[in-house]
Amino acid sequence: SSFSKPRVHNSFCHQTSGCIFPFAGWSLGLLFLDSEMECAKGGIKIRIYGFKLFIERFCMTGGNSPVGYLKAYHTNLYLSADPVKVREALEEGIAAATMFTPEKMTEVSKTQLRVAFDGDAVLFSDESERIFKAHGLDKFFEHEKAHENKPLDHGPLKGFLEALGKLQKRFYDKGQRLDCPIRTYLVTARSAASSGTRALKTLRSWGLEIDEALFLAGAPKGPMLEKIRPHIFFDDQMFHVERAAEMGTVACHVPYGIAQRVNKEGGKEMSSAPE
């Protein structure tokens, strides 16, 4: 049934296929809208560019924010170039991220959808980052060790990972685990020995699987993303988003948690958390 597939709302408007196209082309975009609306002398001109995508549902809001309709559409993921709308969606409990278009996109797989997630403040809550900000790295390690068996609270994109997992299960049930056309990645600055165990135990407690978990212990994520070549990558820190975009990855910023602060002079979202 198509209704059980993740629904992605995309507020980008392009006349040619844009950075979201390879991702949406996997039929995840059941609420993928590529449209242009023009009001002129008593009429509205609407142009929808389908690019042979299966477009099941869309909404036209006359310039108003579509965020209020997301829950009614059972949206699993909302992507926008507008960080204000993304924050509104997150406040409504919708998985959302601000998308950044790389100048030159890296070639991605045509046979397997690859989705890469950061951990803290993306899949998980920002609990651990708060410990770091308040007490430093050593206390962070102590806290994670002491709470190793206590699952972290969920982050804003947990639901989207769940939706992907339901699709994967369909293939697993058919004995196609090794040939599943969807693959998920955890790409985190956590280290495997000191803080990675809690992340893995949290996923297990949720009944969720991640195909590959990559613990970088603070190392740059760019080289690993270059190897993975994900169709889309989510992180709460602009530093990692910008570096990923520079390497040709479609990178999305999740403006959630203590890592976020607003530069009031320039209005630019920045990260103040450790890399």
Compute the distance between CA of residue 223 and CA of residue 205 in angstroms, rounded to an integer. 30
Three state DSSP letters for 254-272: CCCCCCEEEECCCCEEEEC
Runs of H (alpha helix) within 157-254: 158-173, 197-205, 222-228, 238-246
Residue 227 one-letter amino acid:
K
| DSSP 3-state of 90 | helix
Q: Which of 34, 118, 120, 235 is catalytic?
A: 118
* Strand arrangement of the beta sheet that strand 77-80 belongs to: 31-32, 8-10, 77-80, 96-100, 251-253, 232-235, 113-117, 182-188, 212-215
Compute the distance between CA of residue 184 and CA of residue 114 in angstroms, rounded to an integer. 6
Would residue 153 show up in a list of annotated catalytic residues for this protein?
Answer: no
- With beta carbons less than 8 A apart as the criterion, state whether 15 and 23 touch: no
With both helix axes pointing from N to C terminus, report the angle between 127-135 and 137-146 in degrees, rounded to the nearest 10. Answer: 140
- Enzyme catalytic residues: 118
